[in-house]
C-alpha cells in the first residue's frame, strides 16, 4: 500500500507553523508498513487543493489531507475535496448530531459561542463522516481520500479511528555505526544491489553515529541484508554510542 500526504495551510508555506502533521502521519503510516510516496503542502486555495487531491487520488492507494476544516473564510478543504470528486455538499446527519452534542457540552464554558451546526456538518455527498472526538469540525472519507483536521491533537485522535485501514507489506530494520558516511557508500550500494532492499543513511551528529535504515517487503531479504552489513561494518548499540 502506498500513500500521499497533502497538508493545507498558508501558515505552513510561510513558515509560521511547523508541519508536524506530515511528520507524525508519515511515521505512523510507515510503522504500519505503508510506503509514503509524496508529501505536498498547498495554500488555502480551493482550486489548488482540489487539483492536488484529484491527481493524488488517481496515483496512490490512499491520500491523507490535513487542515482547512471549519467555518472560517480560509477553511475550504471540504469544499475542495468535494470539487475533486465532482460532488455536492450535504448535511451529514451523523456529523450533525455529534456537532450538536459537542456544542451542548461546551455551552457552559463558551456561552457566547455562535456556531451554525448544520454548516459545520456539511460534507461531500456519499462520504463517510469521521467524528472529531477532540474538537468540533468533522472529517470524512471520500473514496480513498481521508480528510482530517489541521490541529495536531484533533488530527491524531481522528487518525486512530481509521488507522486499521492502513496496512502495507514494507518492513524496516535499523542498524547503527560510527563509521563516517563517506566510508559507507560502496557497501550501502552493494547491500542494495545484492538483496534488493532500499537503503538510507541518516547522520546523527549529536549522538555521534549514523543510523542505517533497510526497507523491503521481503523479511528474509531484510534479515540477510542486515546480517551482511553486520559482517562488513563496525556496528554499535545506539544507547552506547559516543
With 0-12 / 13-18 / 19 or more C-beta atoms within 10 angstroms meaning exposed / middle / buried, residue 120 is buried
Provide the grid cell at 132. 472529531
* pLDDT band at residue 41 using 50, 70 and 90 as cut-offs: very high
The pLDDT of residue 99? 93
Q: Where are the domains of the chain?
A: 2-165, 171-232
pLDDT tens per residue, range 105-124? 988 888 888 888 999 999 99
Cell numbers 509524496: residue: 38
pLDDT tens per residue, range 4-21? 999 999 999 999 999 999
* pLDDT band at residue 240 using 50, 70 and 90 as cut-offs: low
Superfamily of domain 2-165: MoaB/Mog-like domain (3.40.980.10)
Q: What are phi and psi of 121, to 5 degrees?
A: -95, 10
Percent of the chain residues past pLDDT 70, beyond the cut: 99
* pLDDT band at residue 163 using 50, 70 and 90 as cut-offs: very high
Q: DSSP of 184-233, one letter per residue? A: THHHHHHHHHHHT-EEEEEEETTTTEEEEEEEES-HHHHHHHHHHHHHHS
Query: What CATH number belongs to 171-232?
Result: 3.30.1370
How many other β-carbons are positioned within 10 Å of the β-carbon of residue 211?
16
Q: Are 216 and 238 spatial neighbours (Cβ–Cβ below 8 Å)?
A: no
207/104: higher pLDDT: 104
SS (H, E, C) 102-145: HHHHHCCCCCCCCCCHHHHCEEECCCEEECCCCCCCCEEEECCE
* pLDDT band at residue 205 using 50, 70 and 90 as cut-offs: confident
Cα Rg of the chain (Å, integer): 22
Amino acid at each position: 500500500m502506498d500513500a500521499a500526504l497533502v497538508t493545507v495551510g498558508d501558515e505552513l508555506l510561510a513558515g509560521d507553523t511547523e508541519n508536524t502533521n506530515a511528520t507524525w502521519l508519515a511515521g505512523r503510516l510507515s510503522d504500519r508498513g505503508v510506503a509514503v510516496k509524496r508529501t505536498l503542502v498547498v495554500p488555502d486555495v480551493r482550486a489548488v487543493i482540489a487539483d492536488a487531491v484529484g491527481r493524488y487520488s488517481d496515483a496512490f492507494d490512499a491520500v491523507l489531507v490535513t487542515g482547512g476544516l471549519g467555518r472560517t473564510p480560509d477553511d475550504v478543504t471540504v469544499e475542495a475535496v468535494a470539487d475533486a470528486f465532482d460532488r455536492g455538499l450535504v448535511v451529514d446527519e451523523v456529523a450533525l448530531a455529534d456537532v450538536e452534542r459537542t456544542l451542548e457540552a461546551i455551552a457552559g464554558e463558551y456561552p457566547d459561542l455562535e456556531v451554525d451546526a448544520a454548516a459545520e456538518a456539511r460534507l461531500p455527498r456519499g462520504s463517510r463522516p469521521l467524528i472529531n472526538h477532540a474538537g468540533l469540525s468533522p472529517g470524512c472519507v471520500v473514496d480513498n481520500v481521508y480528510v482530517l483536521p489541521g490541529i495536531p491533537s484533533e488530527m491524531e485522535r481522528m487518525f486512530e479511528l481509521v488507522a486499521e485501514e492502513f496496512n502495507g507489506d514494507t518492513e524496516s530494520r535499523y542498524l547503527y555505526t560510527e563509521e563516517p558516511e563517506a566510508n559507507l557508500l560502496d557497501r550501502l550500494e552493494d547491500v542494495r544491489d545484492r538483496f534488493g532492499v532500499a537503503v538510507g543513511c541518516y547522520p546523527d551528529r549529536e549522538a555521534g553515529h549514523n543510523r542505517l535504515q533497510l526497507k523491503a517487503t521481503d523479511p528474509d531479504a531484510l534479515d540477510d541484508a542486515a546480517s551482511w552489513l553486520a559482517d562488513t561494518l563496525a556496528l554499535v548499540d545506539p544507547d552506547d554510542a559516543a
